[in-house]
Chains A and B, each alone.
Chain A
Amino acid sequence: MKRSGNTSEARRTSLEKTNPAEAKNTQPAKTEETGRAFLEEVMKMPGGERILECIQCGSCAGGCPTRFAMNYSPMQILRMINRGMKQTVLSSSTIWVCSSCYTCATRCPRDVDFPALMMSLKNKAITEFMARDKSKFHKSFFEVVSKYGKLYEPELFVKLMDKSDFKSLRQNASLGWRLFRKGKMHVKAPRTEQTPWVRSMLEKTKEKEQE
């Protein structure tokens, strides 16, 4: 697992400055319980079915366009799952930085569906309460869509706004103005016809997920 040292130096220093706890994660956990339990769990997830087929060829890591922003490469994540390193995998930045572009899955000679696996692992991290702040975007997006049936950008932006970060506030305001001036920012919320189905479908799928 020594390869994680490849993470670019600049990226790590910037991480250390902003979030020392996260920077620590770039080093592999020294003591971690390993075992087959996590591997077997992953094999049942969508995307995890063929994980034992991985031959560690590195096609995924080589083609990954977001590798520079990950603390572990896709190839390393697959190996760590194999070793049962649940804690390290679920708290890695990799699962959140994957942009599901499917370059890896397209090139994988063993047909491992890595992006689908990353979605499943994100879901796992959320349900195990290991990703409260990282999942803020996904949660807000879900909330907006289950309110209107469609995406309503202004509400999503307001939900995600960090009121203490002046620089990002200014940047968002400038982007919002740029879109508004071009007539591309809807001020009025969308209305999907017969909206009660939004709730009823949500309730039903929740119920089914519990099964």
Chain B
Amino acid sequence: MKYAFFPGCSLQSTAKEYKESVQAVAKALDIELTEVPGWNCCGAIDAIYTFKPLYSLALAARNLALAEKMQMDVATPCSACYFTLSRTNKILKEDAATKSKIDEALKTAGLNYNGGVKVRHFAEALLSDVGLQKIRERVKAPLATLKVAAYYGCFMVRPPNICSFDKPERPTRLDELAEALGASKVDYYGKTRCCGQSLGITDEEAMLKMSKDILLNAKNAGADCMMTACPMCHFNLDARQKDIESHFSVRINLPVLHFTQLVGLAFGVQPRQVGLQRNCVSPRKILSKRV
């Protein structure tokens, strides 16, 4: 299996361990990921779109045009990029007036895009193309006794006409993945509730409250750790957990792992190779639960 790999900006910096773990998992499952050469910002959900809508679309279209040259489907591990690239794909297909404007902008960069790229989330590639059966066979160190709260966030499942990883209400595919790894799933309120990432700078207090509710719901439902599929959600729930704790004077201490980190661990990959040392909330206590 071959994909044009679009990591997105976060995976270069604040979610480095996500990239490391995606690559480790891809290697273990013989998935060939070729990074889109010279890729740029996906256009950011609303940060750039609000300010310069056409420019935001042009940025996304440039990535799609670069991927089209490679003649492969795009696989991105970032839910926000997944949404932005898919949205642009849809707009270019349905809105001829916008498409001609974007085409001209692309021409100045020496590119053109014919709409032939399919954008997929890396989790979707893993679950649809590789399949749970193959993943189950590959598990060497089952995560037995580990209780995992899968968190989907927004753009894995919403809006359903753009992001169709799973059903928009009560999705289950990540839970099934956790079970395939030998772990048990935790049912809790808020697995598709927004973590507030886009408000991180503009309305910090609201964001802290939204993330706190998700973390506490998962913890109170008995989870040992949370599993995310988006670098933004992970940043809020993991790197900012300390800020949440001090802002609301609560103790949470709930490790949050990228889904690829858990897959890697179950495959018997060394913790360092899936970047576990980079998680801000120490996942040491869950490592001891591995068989």
Q: Footprint of B on A, CB under 8 Å?
A: 46, 65-66, 68-69, 96-97, 99-103, 105-106, 113, 115, 118-120, 122-123, 126, 134-135, 137-139, 141-142, 145-146, 149-151, 153, 160, 171, 174-175, 178-179, 182-186, 190, 192-194, 197-198, 200-206, 208-209
Contact = CB atoms under 8 A, between A and B. Distances in A.
A137 B202 CA distance: 7
B81 to A, nearest CB: 11
Nearest to A139: B51
15 contacts: A65-B193, A68-B206, A99-B197, A100-B46, A119-B46, A119-B49, A135-B50, A138-B46, A139-B51, A149-B41, A153-B13, A184-B17, A201-B58, A205-B52, A208-B104
Given A142-B52, A178-B280, A208-B54, A192 B105 contact: no
B44 interface: yes
A179 B41 contact: no
A192 B35 CA distance: 13
B42 to A, nearest CB: 10
Contacts of B205: 69
B261 to A, nearest CB: 14
B239 to A, nearest CB: 6
Interface string B86-109: 000000000000000110111011
A203 B108 CA distance: 9
A150 B6 CA distance: 13
Nearest to B194: A101
Contacts of B10: 151
Interface residues of B, number: 65
A123 B53 contact: yes
B180 interface: no
A178 B55 CA distance: 33
A134 B105 contact: no
Contacts of B159: 102, 105-106, 113
Contacts of B106: 201
A151 B154 contact: no
Nearest to B206: A69
B29 interface: no
Contacts of B201: 137, 160
B210 interface: yes
Contacts of A113: 159
Contacts of B279: 182
A145 B48 contact: yes
B41 A99 contact: no
Nearest to B201: A137
A160 B239 CA distance: 19
B217 to A, nearest CB: 13
Nearest to A97: B203
B105 A66 contact: no
Contacts of A197: 62, 108-110
Contacts of B55: 142, 146, 201-202, 205-206
A193 B105 CA distance: 18
Given A101-B154, A138-B48, A178-B239, A66 B41 contact: no
A97 B199 contact: yes
Contacts of A175: 239-240, 243
Contact of B14 (A65, A66, A184): A184
B53 A134 contact: no
Contacts of A185: 13-14
A201 to B, nearest CB: 5
Interface string B237-249: 0011011000000
